[in-house]
Structure 1
Amino acid sequence: MTNLTIPQHGWPDEYVQRYRQAGHWQGETFGALLRSRAEQHPDRIAVVGGSKNLTYAQLDEHASAIAAGLLAQGFQAGDRIVVHLPNIPEFITVVFGLFRAGIIPLYALPAHRITEIEHFAKSGGATGYLCAAEHGGFNYLGLATTLQERCPDVEHVIVIGDATDRYTSLQDIEAAGANTDVLATASSAQDIAFLQISGGSTGLSKLIPRTHDDYIYTLRESARICELDGDSVLLCALPMAHNFPMSSPGFLGTLYAGGRVVLSLSPSPEACFELIKREKVTQCSLVPPLLMLWLDAAERSKPNLSSLRVIQVGGAKLIPEVAQRVRPTLGVTLQQVFGMAEGLVNYTRLGDDAETIIETQGRPISPDDELLIVDDDGQAVADGQAGHLLTRGPYTIRGYYNNPAANQRSFTEDGYYRTGDIVKLTPDGYLVVQGRAGDHINRAGEKISAEEIENHLLANPAVFDAAVVSVPDTYLGERSCAFIIPRNEKPRAVELKKWMRERGIADFKVPDQIIFVDTFSETAVGKISRKTLRAQLRAQLDTTQQNS
């Protein structure tokens, strides 16, 4: 068993005292949170997934049984288990069981495979791996076998479904801990509750340590800002291990508010529209590509979405051209969400005017969220100018787990996190996201926002979706390439360029190259993988040079 030291939260004592005195950190743990809700409304439905419904009392009982079973299996408080599950009720019973036992879940996304899981296990010092036997046609038991061959410290594999004779089933774990009440654990509110993965666009993900205190603060404030209560019904369609559907307000924020969580294995409009109608869903969260699919499907099928009040969109910037379609097409309030697993989360408020909701990505959760917007040299930009976003606050981490090299790059000496985002700040304190620093194109000294070009392209009725990336160029330094999914009949590239010029934009913003594709490669959480698009371009460039 690998006995890595779990680092503390890293906030200096003066900030710890400040956040406690402000009431941000209240000393509550996740294990106690669930028990409190189970005592308040034991018979209320907490989770719906497939054919299974769990009340708050049943969820609490499952969590205690899993905690007791894991401790009986030989796990100890502070151990790490990689949790690799789709959107099923067991995801929630498992993580609350781990919280009860003081064991630290390390979240993986269903689309992750052996390369990522091996990295998580090694860098996180995991001694266990918990997975579904099969999901989406993929056999996770084979991955588990390879993982144990490569990572001998992963002594335990726990499986939901057919565990075969080689592994332990979650059902057996629960049975071993049945009728055992586990509430008090070795965890305190200042301890790490779980490890998330970073959403960086290059390299393997870094591990993000989140404490009970800091994360429950975000749930409490997110539930308030999003106006959740016991009647709220959240549809969780994105992979629930991701920070956005977990806490913004996500399934954890909904449970904090005493509402109901409805799980969908598929984010498709066909699957989700039926669940919204059947379960009277009031809120859901999407990434922009999914929102566009929902909008197109709703225009065709005219589904019954009468219960739905709010659709949150985050994970990437929502283009205003698309944002404007939400209320007319779906009849709901759009709430933009801009945040990161490292901490800072911004929301447009439900009562904001249409221009603010469509044109901005919201303002921070906390009055103690500190924002700096700086130029390439680290100097503050003038009011209203775009720059690099740096932040620190009561729920923004002060360092990655077990990764000093990344910490040196990503954090300033005085504790600000370098987000990698380019933003502008409005006079009202709302952020307008220009894109990732890496998504900006430096073309002959002119810095171009990839998302600005995408915004123009998406205004063309022949374009369904667009992604713009930089291409190395010996003369210009970088040039732009637009990957485009056409809506119906493919337009000619020259016609699109002419159309963009007629919109009155600078000529250097017109894409130097346009490539038509049927689909975009996506990251595990459903974002467009710009890394893959750049790799395709590099491969084409290498082929051209070899043949010349």
Structure 2
Amino acid sequence: MIVKDNKLSVSELLTRAVELKPDREALYDLQERLTYKQFHERVEKLVANLLELGVKKGDRVGVCLPNWNETPIIFFAVAKVGAIVVPFNPNYRQNEIEYIIENSRPKLLFVCEKVEKNVGLEKLTSNVEVIAVRFEHECTISFDSMLVTSGNHPSNTLPEIDVDNDIFCILYTSGTTGVPKGVMLPHRSIVQSGNTLAASLRCTTDDVFIVPAPLFHIFGIACNLMASVASQAKLLLQEKFQPEQTLQLIEQEKVTIHQGVPTMFVMELNLPNFDQYNLSTLRTGMVGAAPCPPDTIKAIREKMGLNLLISFGISETGTVTITDYEEEEINYLETVGKAIDGVELKIVNEHREILPLGEVGEIACKSAGVMKGYYGMEEQTKKVFDEDGWYYTGDLGSLDEKGYLRFIGRKKEMIIRGGFNIYPQEIEGVLAKHPKVLECAVVGYPNEVLGELVCAVIKLKKGESCTPDEIKEYVKTYIASYKVPSEVVFVEEFPVTASGKIQKGKLKEEMLNLLR
């Protein structure tokens, strides 16, 4: 049964799941299996400890962990006491972690041993109470010891949650355009995204989600964890994405829902022994976080038997659009779907004036799911909102007469060559069809005469070889000559985020240094 009530808080979403399916397996992180009842019992024990440690409504609680069962247990416990989850990547280095701690000033910080190795806990414990998960350290509280308590706490000690205004989490952006910004998302945003995905994917309690996306990312939290709990389904957590392990687990655990970024699916499809795995239980899933080329969408649907839905959303907005479960091919190949219930969309020019249907401009949206702002950054928040509550995404797109959104790319990634606007995603779509290309990205670089030129960065399939001229000649047959890359660079690997998305900002820096 799908919980469709967007007025539930995050902790109420779990409470409802426990009431409906207490004995259904909820979590499996390859170490331990927990039913919804056991999941909830551990949350309650942790709630009692958080209250004992003085955690109160509005306090921030850092969570620097991989995809372990402890991670969602902490998320739901923190939500229940009205505090705010601040999840971030355990692979971060010292300056990254110190920045987030300095900016968010958490009351508690849950860490794994990798943080001790990367940073050293003595530095951290001088600023915040640290809880060690799956390891012991003299400067910390043991997470295991926190679960020994009975878990009883007076109900009147728990605050009421205003789902539209109380913040569930602060997600730090990757910081490709400056210092990371803490995106403040209310309970409503996270629950609404989870419910929307669960309904769109037609989830039931019999479904099994596999989650290679990290739970410190909006895709992992909202589109996987919350969608699974909303459906009372099973959540299979991968500590780290490994394509072959993913296929093994799909077969072993009879996974029905597989979601990921395009890179993940591409790596799976290109495994030499892909055909050896039985993926017949796969039913549906969503691709998100980055544009997915049409040929990749077709390959996923045909070779994996996956009724793949396409969606658009960013950390600041939650889910904005999605294609239907039963959708015309042209719509799931060329668009990212229509606005979900409760979301308004418009396309605007540089003056934030509405553009006619079909014209490309900046995507703006308005809904109860949009962030409340950037934590401690009032000026940056004002720049992306107007006085009527519209959020301006910085992404380019167009709307058709039926309300379908076509995603064009990031506004800041647009290349202007001799006065002509060039959208990298269009060229990437052409390159992705080349039989030798595994992955690609297009960036601009400066030119004294034309302003900017196009650089195509390509990772070839294993065992393939190619020349820049071969790529240029291929592209010429599909698009206008001014869009053809002036430079073609072959790489072994791309710089990627923890969720597997190519870091265009970092890639552009690398290309600028190379092409000087």
TM-score bucket of the superposed structures, by smaller chain: over 0.9
Structure 1: 4+ residue segments shifted above 6 A: none
Is 1:72 the counterpart of 2:48 in the alignment?
A: no
Is 1:127 the counterpart of 2:101 in the alignment?
A: no
**1:145 corresponding residue in structure 2:** 121
Is 1:166 the counterpart of 2:139 in the alignment?
A: yes
* Aligned counterpart for 1:309 among listed residues 283, 287, 291: 283
Is 1:204 the counterpart of 2:179 in the alignment?
A: yes
Q: What secondary structure does 1:77 align onto?
A: coil
| Whole-Å separation in 2 of the counterparts to 1:294 and 1:426 | 33
**1:16 corresponding residue in structure 2:** none
Is 1:326 the counterpart of 2:300 in the alignment?
A: yes
Alignment-mate amino acid for residue 173 of structure 1: M
- Equivalent runs, 1:430-445 vs 2, <5 Å: 430-445=404-419
Tell me, yes or no, if the aligned pair for 1:398 and 1:411 is still in contact at 8 Å: no
Tell me, yes or no, if the aligned pair for 2:457 and 2:489 is still in contact at 8 Å: yes
| Whole-Å separation in 2 of the counterparts to 1:97 and 1:263 | 19
Cα shift readout 1:299-352 (whole Å, capped 9, x = no counterpart): 743310111111311111111121121222111111112111212521111111
**1:8 corresponding residue in structure 2:** none
| Whole-Å separation in 1 of the counterparts to 2:119 and 2:174 | 23
| Structure 2, gaps ≥5 residues long | none
Alignment-mate amino acid for residue 131 of structure 2: I
Tell me, yes or no, if the aligned pair for 1:521 and 1:528 is still in contact at 8 Å: yes
Change (3 A) 1:373 1:479: same
Shift of 1:477: 0.9
| Whole-Å separation in 2 of the counterparts to 1:25 and 1:39 | 18
Tell me, yes or no, if the aligned pair for 2:90 and 2:111 is still in contact at 8 Å: no
| Whole-Å separation in 1 of the counterparts to 2:428 and 2:507 | 15
**1:530 corresponding residue in structure 2:** 504
Alignment-mate amino acid for residue 217 of structure 1: Q
| Whole-Å separation in 2 of the counterparts to 1:302 and 1:354 | 28
Is 1:178 the counterpart of 2:150 in the alignment?
A: yes
Is 1:384 the counterpart of 2:369 in the alignment?
A: no
| Whole-Å separation in 2 of the counterparts to 1:298 and 1:182 | 57
Change (3 A) 1:535 1:142: closer
Q: What secondary structure does 1:297 align onto?
A: coil
Change (3 A) 1:147 1:434: farther
Is 1:452 the counterpart of 2:432 in the alignment?
A: no
* Aligned counterpart for 1:39 among listed residues 2, 15, 19: 19
Cα shift readout 1:76-109 (whole Å, capped 9, x = no counterpart): 3322111111111111111112122222111112
Cα shift readout 1:116-165 (whole Å, capped 9, x = no counterpart): 2222222222122111123xxxx53552526527xx5x320111122221
| Whole-Å separation in 1 of the counterparts to 2:273 and 2:345 | 40
| Whole-Å separation in 1 of the counterparts to 2:338 and 2:449 | 40
Tell me, yes or no, if the aligned pair for 2:439 and 2:459 is still in contact at 8 Å: yes
Q: What secondary structure does 1:429 align onto?
A: coil
Tell me, yes or no, if the aligned pair for 2:10 and 2:190 is still in contact at 8 Å: no
Change (3 A) 1:53 1:183: farther
Alignment-mate amino acid for residue 150 of structure 2: A
Cα shift readout 1:337-392 (whole Å, capped 9, x = no counterpart): 211121252111111122211221112222x3111201223222221111100111
Shift of 1:48: 1.0
Cα shift readout 1:467-508 (whole Å, capped 9, x = no counterpart): 1111011111111111111223321111211121123x2111
| Whole-Å separation in 1 of the counterparts to 2:154 and 2:12 | 10
Change (3 A) 1:396 1:298: farther
Alignment-mate amino acid for residue 29 of structure 2: G
Tell me, yes or no, if the aligned pair for 1:387 and 1:424 is still in contact at 8 Å: yes
- Equivalent runs, 1:221-260 vs 2, <5 Å: 221-248=196-223, 250-260=224-234
Q: What secondary structure does 1:307 align onto?
A: coil
Tell me, yes or no, if the aligned pair for 1:344 and 1:369 is still in contact at 8 Å: no
| Whole-Å separation in 2 of the counterparts to 1:378 and 1:527 | 29
**1:6 corresponding residue in structure 2:** none
Change (3 A) 1:530 1:214: closer
TM-score, normalised to structure 2's length? 0.94
| Whole-Å separation in 2 of the counterparts to 1:76 and 1:169 | 20
| Structure 1, gaps ≥5 residues long | 1-22
**1:195 corresponding residue in structure 2:** 170
| Whole-Å separation in 1 of the counterparts to 2:513 and 2:174 | 24
Change (3 A) 1:32 1:498: closer
Tell me how large the CA RMSD over aligned residues is.
2.0
Is 1:343 the counterpart of 2:294 in the alignment?
A: no
Is 1:353 the counterpart of 2:333 in the alignment?
A: no
Alignment-mate amino acid for residue 210 of structure 1: L
Is 1:416 the counterpart of 2:396 in the alignment?
A: no
Tell me, yes or no, if the aligned pair for 2:322 and 2:337 is still in contact at 8 Å: yes
Is 1:292 the counterpart of 2:292 in the alignment?
A: no
* Aligned counterpart for 1:404 among listed residues 378, 390, 403: 378
| Whole-Å separation in 2 of the counterparts to 1:179 and 1:327 | 45
Change (3 A) 1:182 1:255: farther
| Whole-Å separation in 1 of the counterparts to 2:326 and 2:239 | 31
| Whole-Å separation in 2 of the counterparts to 1:459 and 1:155 | 50
Cα shift readout 1:268-303 (whole Å, capped 9, x = no counterpart): 221111111111111021111111111112774331
Moved more, 56-65 or 410-419: 410-419
Q: What secondary structure does 2:455 align onto?
A: strand
Cα shift readout 1:394-421 (whole Å, capped 9, x = no counterpart): 2112422221121122112221111011
| Whole-Å separation in 2 of the counterparts to 1:485 and 1:388 | 30
Alignment-mate amino acid for residue 319 of structure 1: P
Tell me, yes or no, if the aligned pair for 1:472 and 1:479 is still in contact at 8 Å: yes
Shift of 1:221: 2.7
| Whole-Å separation in 1 of the counterparts to 2:276 and 2:410 | 35
Q: What secondary structure does 1:166 align onto?
A: coil
| Whole-Å separation in 2 of the counterparts to 1:328 and 1:483 | 27
Tell me, yes or no, if the aligned pair for 1:116 and 1:204 is still in contact at 8 Å: no
- Equivalent runs, 1:515-526 vs 2, <5 Å: 515-526=489-500
Alignment-mate amino acid for residue 20 of structure 2: Q
Is 1:468 the counterpart of 2:448 in the alignment?
A: no
Cα shift readout 1:24-75 (whole Å, capped 9, x = no counterpart): 753x322233223222222111111113011111111100111111222333
| Whole-Å separation in 2 of the counterparts to 1:75 and 1:396 | 26
Q: What secondary structure does 2:177 align onto?
A: coil
* Aligned counterpart for 2:466 among listed residues 491, 504, 520: 491
| Whole-Å separation in 2 of the counterparts to 1:181 and 1:308 | 41
| Whole-Å separation in 2 of the counterparts to 1:496 and 1:281 | 38
TM-score, normalised to structure 1's length? 0.88
* Aligned counterpart for 1:88 among listed residues 68, 79, 83: 68
